[in-house]
Chains A and B, each alone.
Chain A
Amino acid sequence: MAERGTSRRPEHLSAVPDPDPDPGDLLRAVAGGDEKAFARLYDLVAPRVYGLIRRVLRDPAQSEEVAQEVLVEVWRSAARFDPARGSATSWICTIAHRRAVDRVRSEQAASERLTYVGRAQVDVPYDAVADEVSGRLERQQVRRCLHDLTDLQREAVTLAYYQGHTYPQVAELLGAPLPTVKTRMRDGLIRLRDCLGAGAVA
């Protein structure tokens, strides 16, 4: 698998990384037009951004294209980041996830694969997805926390987040009523937050 070290630009190879800088500090520098700070921020967040987009979109070429859009958008709108409303990583992931979901839905609409209100004909059964998700999350705190959720909470959260389904689609997939699915998504996130200790950010 390719890695950053294969970059053609030698300065990437020779740099001895400092201890990881705080993404929030970097983002504030980026807002002021600091391209070096942006390059360091890229190294910190790009694998997560690309991986998340790839998880939702699956197609590597499209994922690369959307990841580029997202990272350029981070540069463009860095001034909009408000540390009072959350961490820099969360702000960046929110942009990436939203863009990936928008793309997957426009692809669905464009190819007319989505029989939106028809009986579900979704090609990936949800339990297979949940298994795959669990496998990839091995040894990670978030995996343990996902296991703390009820089955319905976990399925509702992961079908929406990793596959970009809307809550009516999730309801269809799970054969659960809409109000139940909405509630499970919220309660699942609350439980996840409590487990991760990712509570209020000062």
Chain B
Amino acid sequence: MNTADVHTLLGPYVLDAVDDIERAAFDRHLRECDACRADVSELREASARLADGAWSVPPPGLRDNVLAAIGSVRQIAPISPAPAPAPATAPARSSRRLRLVSAAAAVVVAAAGAATAAYTLQDHRVRVEQARAEAAQAAESRVRALLASPDLVVKEEPVTGGGRVTVATSKLHDAGVIMLAADAAPSDGRVFQLWTIRSAVPIPEGTLAPGQTAAVQIVEGMGQASDVGVSVEPPGGSKTPTTPLAADVKL
């Protein structure tokens, strides 16, 4: 995207009407362009006033929940004026990513059923080569964008009973992908359920169908999560894990 194109995203960017790739491109541009930075600040003041029209009394429990939650949340230190750029991809990291990508391709195919997808690694970008079922496309392109993110961090843990769970997160996207590939489905018709742990509270992130052993799940707001967990639950999932975690990935 050239500079002239990036400038036209100003309005959509302020309204959060861009996709993640455009947002990342514009964020990069803002670091270099004083004029756009000033425009964004001013127009954000205006767009925030649109929230005046949505004013609504919050549920009564929210205040206590929020005030209780902050007790266990560590605050970040002020950001340094010149944040360090994302480290260059080291060779060790590329081979890790290659492994991840093939794992992702396998589980995307498994999860999408009839869909077919092929990934190649080219110049540290993941490229989708083949058309696929339209239903899977939105999620899949999101996965692709996340896996191609320059600041991708990958963590992996074994799953009790065989298999592994891989979590790829990007601060740039404030999102992550959970990729579960278990060797076998839980017994007794029970199912796998995915969780993030945020402020010490488990948040359900998706439940697999009975018999399902692989899944790819996109999680937004991953920056708030300290762990990703997998548990075994009754069909349909639970509100909070009812068994010890079968896998726990510390982020």
Interface residues of A (CB under 8 A from B): 1-4, 6-9, 12, 31, 33, 35, 38-39, 42-43, 46-52, 54-55, 60, 64-65, 67-69, 71-73, 75-80, 85-87, 89-90, 93-94, 96-99, 101-103, 105-106, 108-110, 112, 114-116, 118, 133, 136-137, 140-143, 157-158, 160-162, 164-167, 170, 179, 181-190, 192-193, 196, 198-201
Q: What distance in Å separates the Cβ of A109 from its nearest Cβ neighbour in chain B?
A: 5
21 A-B contacts, Cβ less than 8 Å apart?
A: A2-B60, A6-B60, A43-B63, A46-B62, A48-B54, A50-B62, A86-B44, A87-B48, A94-B44, A157-B47, A160-B16, A166-B12, A166-B18, A167-B15, A182-B12, A186-B43, A190-B43, A193-B42, A193-B45, A198-B42, A199-B42
Q: In the complex, which residues of chain B have a beta carbon less than 8 angstroms from the beta carbon of A46? A: 58, 62-63, 66
Q: In the complex, which residues of chain A have a beta carbon less than 8 angstroms from the beta carbon of B46? A: 189-190, 192-193, 196, 198
Task: Establish whether residues A80 and B76, one from each chain, have CB atoms under 8 Å apart when the complex forms.
Answer: yes
Q: How many A-B residue pairs have CB under 8 A?
A: 248
Q: What distance in Å separates the Cβ of A153 from its nearest Cβ neighbour in chain B?
A: 10
Instruction: Name the CB-closest residue of A to B8.
Output: A182
Of the residues B8, B11, B51, contact of A189 by C-beta under 8 Å: B11
Of the residues A69, A76, A133, A187, contact of B53 by C-beta under 8 Å: A133
B49 at the interface (CB under 8 A from A): yes
Q: In the complex, which residues of chain A have a beta carbon less than 8 angstroms from the beta carbon of B9? A: 182
Q: In the complex, which residues of chain B have a beta carbon less than 8 angstroms from the beta carbon of A64? A: 58-59, 61-62
Q: In the complex, which residues of chain B have a beta carbon less than 8 angstroms from the beta carbon of A79? A: 75-79
B88 at the interface (CB under 8 A from A): no
Q: In the complex, which residues of chain A have a beta carbon less than 8 angstroms from the beta carbon of B61? A: 64
Task: Establish whether residues B67 and A35, one from each chain, have CB atoms under 8 Å apart when the complex forms.
Answer: yes
